[in-house]
């Protein structure tokens, strides 16, 4: 037993295991092969459909059948990953060249998902059959065992076009990711042909043919001058904009119509764009918007933004580019599997790999075809020779006792045991010397082959075979001939499946817009006990002061250009721009404060809300559940971040009270067990916001601070505690860090 135990370093085992796992994810799942531009799951789906005979000229088959068959034979992973791959290969808005013809709901550009696989159907596209799967029967690629070694699958598909560039790819592996944009099929073919004619061509010269990405969604690439560096290195950022048209509307108004979107907005990006545009109007960033409608349909994208009559249209469009994803970046990282390992490749390197692969599969294809033609030639020459001496052949067949004797005579010239009509026939028979394949063909030849027309057809077939042999040998012997064959095929694909470029490439000017200058003014912030907040002008508040104070938990004056600070029980301070808070009529409902801040009602509760300007003028006192207490300068909260730590808390502690100190003189701490302690605020030390503080009141192990009150000199203040009136000013004035007095009820 001891001999079977291998002692090794634990870290070495973990390192090796992780590296093996990472490489498995990188090579076998997440990244495409540079030769066919496909990930393993895509390759397996296409090959399975090919094997099932789901071709473009045959009926659609249920997607569930395709997914199940692929999972059972080739891809032993979740069915959702297989179906997702199938869905993406059908979507014209994601792929420049869809490889699967889908029937049913396969999702849309606005982010709606595909229907369940039991409802949808699919079959191969015609180009997939012609350019991806056509020569699998000609031994052009290696076949490898599947996961359980019960089937064979191609290690790579014999793709005849640079699919990695045409359809692009995206995937996240372990420690690396790929993001390759799609390109125009015709332009990629032209660039490939240019490389085949001159292997020393530069990337700049290649880009005369392939100008840049061609996204299915169209749009405008605005950093043309940066594309050369991106395609030389294989990495960089492409800036893309949606296409915007201007239309005249009724009443002298103007419609801004978005007819093409950036490729990065596919999916929920359109909904987010509409929300962002609406937010610009709600937060008063622009007063130009009258209405927004999404009129998109199967015919294409059409988002209409109606502007008021005197709007600065170009300034508004520039604002959309700056403030929304109508202008976005596509991060290029052309990472693919090359020679079994991941590698970042430039444009020329990708085309070189694809061309080298074309020559490899062409060499294997024409070697296979040549071997078949040579075999046909051998048999045809045997049959022609046999027809020339058909009488002798018949004499051999009639004089032989069995097939073996006749075959031995035809192949080796053995005449023993065969009855001939004459010695001359016997002598001629001993000199025939057919090959074994020729002899088998002669023995299996039917008599109708002796008809004159059949003999002529045989001779014509032999001539065709010799022509094919000459052709195939020329292709194999001369690289120029093979290159011409490959380029002819590329021209055919371009002619049949090429389309016009959709994406415009230019050097666009940077979007510059002038923000509407906000006139600074005083407003009142109102927030009710449910967390709905809004702002109103001073006159509106003054008219409704009593109602506003009664209905709202927080009411204070602030500047419309300032910020509101929200202190929460978890010790955080969240800030909100006053401009982001709806400004309107007194009876407007407002907006939940958690919708415009990082504060979450699920995690914590609001302890105190005030304006940042107000905080800067005073000090702030913090009290926690465990009676930790401190005073902090309000200037420490003059920050621009949306969320900062307002105080440090011990484990399982939380903030109970936060108050800005104005004219308060004493603090009263009330515990859950009914202890009250009143002491001067001046006894509380001033600390930094990162400090925990000092103990304010001694309490029992299970006791905690329940409420905090503040008193002023010469101002009577009382509260009701469990049905008993407690006058806070008459409580005995104690010192900090004592137990206080218990109120008996």
Residue 224 lies in a domain: no
| Residues 621 and 708 occupy one common structural domain | yes
Assess if residue 548 is contained within a domain. Answer: yes
DSSP state for residue 109 in the 8-state scheme? T
More confident residue, 442 or 611: 611
Residue 27 gets the label, from left (phi > 0), alpha (psi -120 to 50) or beta, of: alpha
| Structural domain includes residue 123 | yes
Q: 213 Cβ partners below 8 Å, 6+ apart?
A: 168, 181, 182, 183, 221, 238, 330, 503
Domain-ending residue, one of 157, 186, 207: 157
The full DSSP string for 177-207 is EEEE----HHHHHHHHHHHHH-TT--HHHHT
DSSP classification of residue 223: B
Average pLDDT for 389-400:
79
Q: How confident is the model at residue 696 (pLDDT cuts 50, 70, 90)?
A: very high
Q: What is the pLDDT of residues 250-274, one digit of tens each?
A: 877 889 999 999 999 987 778 888 9
Beta bridge pairs of residue 675: 742
Strands 504-505 and 619-624: unpaired
CATH number at residue 313: 3.30.1360.40
What percent of the chain lies above the pLDDT cut of 70?
A: 96
Query: Contacts for 5-10 with beta carbons within 8 Å, 24 or more apart?
Result: none
Q: What percent of the chain is predicted at pLDDT more than 90?
A: 59
In a domain? residue 194: no
What is the spatial distance between Cα 97 and Cα 502, in angstroms, rounded to a whole number?
13
Task: Examine the domain organization and report whether 479 and 536 are in the same domain.
Answer: no
Helix (H, G, I), strand (E, B) or coil at 635: helix
Same domain, 551 and 634: yes
The residue range of the domain holding 437 is 356-496
**At which of 130, 157, 184 does a domain end?**
157
Q: Give pLDDT, residue 214.
A: 95
Write the CATH number for 596: 2.120.10.90
Q: Is 615 helix (H, G, I), strand (E, B) or coil?
A: helix
How far is Cα 243 from Cα 220, in angstroms, rounded to an integer? 7
Instruction: Say yes or no: 691 and 617 in one domain.
Output: yes
Task: Kindly report the CATH number assigned to the domain that includes residue 407.
Answer: 1.10.268.10
Same domain (yes/no): 675, 526: yes
Q: What DSSP character marks residue 33? A: B
DSSP letter at 645 equals E
626 with 654: CB under 8 angstroms?
Answer: no
- Domain assignment present for residue 472? The answer is yes
Whether 29 maps to a domain, the answer reads no
Task: Give, in degrees to the nearest 5, the angle at Cα 48 between 91 and 164.
Answer: 50
Sheet holding 254-260, edge to edge: 243-248, 254-260, 303-307, 289-294
The phi, psi pair for 640, rounded to 5°, reads: -100, -15
Catalytic status, residue 119: yes
- Residue 168 belongs to some domain of the structure: no
In terms of domains, do 473 and 579 share one? no
Helices and strands (H, E) in the chain, number of each type = 21, 35
Please identify which of the residues 47, 74, 83, 119 carries the catalytic annotation: 119
Q: Does 484 lie in the same domain as 534? A: no
Structure tokens that stand for 86 in this block: 């199938």
Number of domains forming the structure of the chain? 4
Which residue is it, tokens 């082959």?
A: 449
The answer to whether position 23 is within a domain reads no
Mean pLDDT of 348-363: 95
Domain boundary among 133, 157, 181: 157
pLDDT band at 365 (very low <50, low <70, confident <90, very high): very high
CATH number of the domain enclosing 127? 3.90.199.10
pLDDT tens digits for range 17-71: 666 666 665 666 778 999 999 999 999 999 999 999 999 999 999 999 999 999 9
Both 585 and 700 in one domain: the answer is: yes
Looking at the structure, tell me whether residues 689 and 582 fall in a common domain: yes
- Count other C-beta atoms under 10 Å from residue 494's C-beta: 19
Q: Do 717 and 576 have their domain in common? A: yes
Same domain, 45 and 120: yes
CA distance 395 to 408: 14
Q: Smallest Cα–Cα separation from 121: which of 54, 29, 39?
A: 54
Q: How far is CA 88 from the centre of its chain?
A: 11
Backbone angles phi, psi at 630, to 5 degrees: -165, 165
- Tell whether 370 and 310 lie within a shared domain: no
Instruction: Give the pLDDT mean for 379-404.
Output: 80
- Phi/psi of residue 691, nearest 5 degrees: -90, 155
Q: Does 549 have pLDDT greater than 80?
A: yes
Please tell me whether the overall predicted TM-score, pTM, comes out greater than 0.75 for this model.
no
Are 246 and 326 in contact, with CB atoms under 8 Å apart? no
- Percentages (nearest 5) of helix, strand, coil residues in the chain: 40, 25, 35
């Amino acid at each position: 037993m001891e001999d079977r135990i291998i002692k090794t370093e634990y870290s070495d085992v973990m390192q090796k295991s992780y590296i093996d796992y990472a490489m498995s994810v990188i090579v076998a799942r997440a990244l495409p092969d540079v030769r066919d531009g496909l990930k393993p799951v895509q390759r397996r789906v296409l090959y399975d459909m090919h094997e099932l005979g789901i071709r473009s000229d045959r009926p659609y088959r249920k997607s569930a059948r395709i997914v199940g068959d692929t999972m059972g034979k080739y891809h032993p992973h979740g069915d959702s990953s297989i179906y997702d791959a199938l869905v993406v290969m059908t979507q014209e808005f994601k792929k420049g060249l869809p490889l699967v013809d889908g029937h049913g709901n396969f999702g849309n550009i606005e982010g709606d998902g595909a229907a369940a696989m039991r409802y949808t159907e699919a079959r191969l596209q015609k180009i997939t059959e012609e350019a991806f799967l056509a020569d699998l029967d000609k031994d052009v690629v290696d076949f490898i065992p599947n996961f359980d070694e019960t089937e064979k699958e191609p290690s790579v598909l014999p793709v005849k076009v640079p699919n990695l560039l045409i359809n692009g790819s995206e995937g996240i592996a372990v420690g690396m990711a790929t993001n390759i944009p799609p390109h125009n099929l015709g332009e990629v073919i032209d660039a490939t042909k240019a490389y085949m004619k001159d292997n020393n061509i530069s990337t700049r010269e290649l880009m005369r043919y392939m100008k840049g990405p061609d996204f299915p969604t169209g749009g405008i690439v605005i950093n043309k001058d940066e594309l050369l560096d991106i395609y030389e290195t294989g990495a960089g950022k492409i800036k893309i904009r949606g296409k915007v048209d201007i239309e005249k509307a009724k009443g002298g108004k103007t419609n801004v119509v978005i007819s093409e979107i950036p490729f990065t907005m596919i999916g929920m990006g359109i909904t987010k764009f509409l929300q962002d545009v609406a937010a610009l109007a709600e937060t008063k960033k622009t007063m130009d918007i009258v209405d927004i409608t999404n009129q998109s349909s199967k015919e294409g994208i059409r988002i209409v933004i109606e502007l008021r009559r005197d709007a600065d249209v170009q300034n508004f469009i520039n604002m959309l580019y700056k403030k929304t994803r109508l202008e976005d970046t596509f991060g290029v990282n052309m990472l693919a599997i090359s020679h079994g390992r991941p590698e970042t490749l430039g444009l020329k390197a990708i085309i070189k790999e694809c061309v080298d692969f074309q020559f490899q599969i062409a060499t294997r294809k024409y070697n296979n075809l040549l071997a078949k033609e040579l075999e046909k030639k051998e048999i045809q020459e045997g049959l022609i020779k046999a027809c020339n001496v058909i009488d002798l052949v018949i004499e051999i067949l009639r004089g032989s006792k069995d097939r073996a004797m006749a075959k031995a005579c035809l192949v080796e010239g053995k005449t023993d045991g065969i009855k001939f009509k004459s010695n001359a026939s016997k002598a001629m028979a001993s000199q025939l010397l057919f090959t074994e394949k020729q002899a088998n063909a002669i023995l299996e030849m039917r008599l109708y082959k002796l008809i004159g027309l059949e003999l002529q057809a045989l001779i014509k077939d032999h001539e065709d075979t010799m022509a094919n042999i000459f052709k195939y040998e020329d292709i194999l012997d001369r690289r120029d001939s093979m290159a011409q064959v490959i380029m002819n095929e590329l021209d055919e694909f371009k002619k049949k499946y090429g389309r016009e470029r959709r994406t415009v490439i230019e050097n666009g000017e940077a979007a510059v817009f002038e923000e509407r200058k906000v006139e600074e003014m005083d407003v009142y912030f109102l927030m009710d006990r449910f967390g709905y907040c809004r702002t109103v002008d001073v006159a509106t508040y003054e008219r409704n002061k009593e109602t506003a104070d009664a209905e709202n938990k927080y009411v204070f004056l602030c500047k419309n250009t300032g910020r509101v600070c929200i202190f929460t029980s978890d010790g955080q301070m969240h800030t909100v721009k006053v401009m982001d808070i709806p400004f309107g009529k007194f009876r407007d409902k407002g907006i939940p404060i958690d919708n415009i801040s990082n504060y979450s009602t699920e995690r914590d509760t609001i302890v105190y809300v005030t304006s940042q300007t107000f905080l800067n003028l005073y000090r702030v006192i913090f009290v926690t559940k465990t009676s930790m207490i401190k005073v902090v300068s309000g200037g420490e909260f003059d920050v621009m971040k949306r969320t900062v730590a307002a105080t440090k808390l011990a484990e399982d502690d939380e903030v109970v009270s936060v108050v800005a100190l104005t004219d308060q003189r004493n603090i009263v701490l009330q515990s859950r067990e009914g202890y009250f302690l009143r002491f001067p605020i001046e006894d509380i030390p001033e600390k930094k916001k990162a400090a925990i503080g000092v103990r304010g009141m001694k309490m029992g192990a299970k006791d905690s601070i329940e409420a905090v009150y503040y008193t002023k000199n010469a101002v009577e203040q009382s509260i009701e505690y469990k049905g008993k009136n407690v006058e806070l000013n008459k409580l005995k004035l104690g010192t900090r860090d004592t137990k206080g007095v218990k109120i008996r009820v």
